[in-house]
């Protein structure tokens, strides 16, 4: 068990941003929210999955909010969540699990845990940034998403069947609630005794370790980068300067391409990154891939700070990092919904360690 403070929360957000593959929000947009939660609660804790299972009772709640800017508008919904869960399970909330590994989802999970005064569990549903709602470990492990609980800003409760698309889900949520407000609090649940079966455990502590290395990397860049890559099972793929960034918000998803011109060992080469919320595939100018989904291809600034695609600019100098996906995504079932062919790319998945070698 670990009590969260400002320092290790900053580490957690840095690591989550690194593992998000460029999705989510800039860290400075969510860090103030979490600091308020730390001051208000004073006893925010991260607990291991094993500890939650050992206690046995209760329900794990995994929340999702479609716009973090409106987080305070849904506090009333969150406060009513325990009553709704008791009406479904006749049990209390044992802890909160992050919906995905990006700054928005991790920050919202911390916020919910602070309001409900329950622990944050060292796990999440994806082990990386979310691209689409189907990219959830529940789908790989054949765990039903029923019941999916939707709460409107006024606390009204609605039950939904399992969804295959986040966009479909958001549209249905709005139709159910008969409102155009961009506010959705979504809860999917698991019995606490099944947390290791239904979630990817250890992902928040891994993010925190990665963030700790990122904070000290400027003083010893070579040694610390090596240590960081070992923690996340990663590789340095490329260094370059942004020559073009054409990223647009298409139906709520960041979509487009980024073109880089190589520097240092990669001088006189080009890299093209195809983006759909996060990185889908990165290829050299002759078409040779250097990384692809489900593996994580993510960007660090010149000063080794993780960059999200909504904060990438022309002439930025970046380090391109490739990270092995959780093993569950590398199975045939995982590849069927998060491999390159799922996104219409006519290529079989090649693990990043083989591409590097």
> How does residue 252 score in pLDDT terms, banded at 50, 70 and 90?
low
Indicate the SS3 state at residue 322: strand
**Is it the case that residue 177 has pLDDT exceeding 70?**
no
**Is it the case that residue 354 has pLDDT exceeding 90?**
yes
Task: Please list, in sequence order, all residues whose beta carbon lies within 8 angstroms of the beta carbon of residue 201, skipping any fewer than 6 positions away.
Answer: 48, 49, 50, 122, 123, 195
Q: What is the pLDDT of residues 26-57, one digit of tens each?
A: 777 787 777 788 777 677 899 999 999 988 78
Average pLDDT over residues 180-189: 61
User: Lowest-pLDDT range, 167-181, 239-253, 289-303?
Assistant: 167-181
Cα separation, 100 vs 21, in Å, equals 11
Average pLDDT over residues 254-277: 95
Cα separation, 349 vs 339, in Å, equals 6
| Closest among 48, 156, 65, 164 to 108, alpha carbons compared | 65
**Is it the case that residue 188 has pLDDT exceeding 80?**
no
**Is it the case that residue 162 has pLDDT exceeding 70?**
no
**Residue 233: Cβ-neighbour burial (10 angstroms; 0-12, 13-18, 19+):** middle
Q: What is the pTM of this model?
A: 0.90
Match 């502590």 to its residue by tokens.
205
Q: Distance of CA 277 to CAs 25, 105, 249, 281, Å?
A: 11, 14, 9, 12
Cα separation, 34 vs 132, in Å, equals 25
Sorted by where each starts, the structural domains of the chain and their CATH numbers stand as 2-201 (3.40.1610.10), 233-356 (2.40.390.10)
Mean pLDDT, the chain, integer: 85
Torsional sign, CA 227, 5, 188, 94: positive
pLDDT over 90 for what percent of the chain? 50
């Amino acid at each position: 068990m670990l009590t969260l403070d400002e320092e290790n929360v900053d580490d957690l957000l840095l690591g989550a941003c690194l593992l998000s593959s460029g999705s989510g929000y800039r860290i400075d947009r969510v860090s103030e929210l979490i600091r308020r939660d730390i001051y208000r609660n004073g006893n925010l804790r991260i607990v291991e999955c094993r500890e939650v299972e050992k206690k046995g009772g209760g329900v794990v709640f995994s929340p999702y909010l479609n716009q973090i800017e409106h987080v305070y508008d849904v506090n009333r919904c969150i406060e009513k969540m325990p009553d709704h869960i008791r009406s479904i399970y006749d049990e209390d909330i044992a802890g909160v699990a992050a919906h995905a590994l990006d700054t928005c989802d991790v920050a919202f999970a911390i916020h919910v845990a602070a309001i409900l005064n329950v622990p944050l569990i060292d796990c999440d549903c994806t082990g990386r940034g979310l691209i689409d709602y189907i990219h959830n470990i529940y789908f790989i492990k054949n765990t039903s998403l029923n019941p999916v609980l939707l709460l409107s800003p006024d606390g009204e409760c609605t039950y939904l069947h399992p969804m295959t698309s986040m966009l479909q889900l958001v549209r249905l949520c709005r139709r159910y609630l008969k409102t155009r407000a961009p506010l959705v609090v979504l809860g999917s649940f698991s019995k606490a005794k099944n947390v290791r079966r239904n979630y990817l455990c250890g992902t928040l502590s891994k993010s925190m370790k990665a963030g700790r290395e990122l904070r000290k990397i400027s003083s010893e860049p070579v040694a610390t980068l090596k240590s960081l890559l070992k923690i996340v099972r990663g590789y340095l793929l490329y260094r370059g300067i942004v020559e073009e960034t054409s990223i647009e918000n298409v139906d709520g998803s960041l979509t487009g391409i980024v073109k880089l011109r190589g520097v240092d060992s990669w001088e006189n080469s080009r890299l093209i990154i195809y983006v759909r919320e996060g990185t889908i595939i990165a290829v050299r100018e002759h078409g040779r891939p250097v990384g692809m989904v489900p593996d994580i291809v993510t960007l660090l600034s010149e000063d080794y700070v993780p960059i999200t695609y909504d904060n990438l600019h022309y002439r930025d100098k970046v380090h391109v990092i490739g990270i092995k996906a959780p093993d569950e995504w590398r199975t045939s079932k995982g590849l069927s919904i998060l491999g390159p062919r799922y996104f219409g790319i006519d290529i079989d998945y090649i693990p990043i360690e083989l591409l590097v070698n």
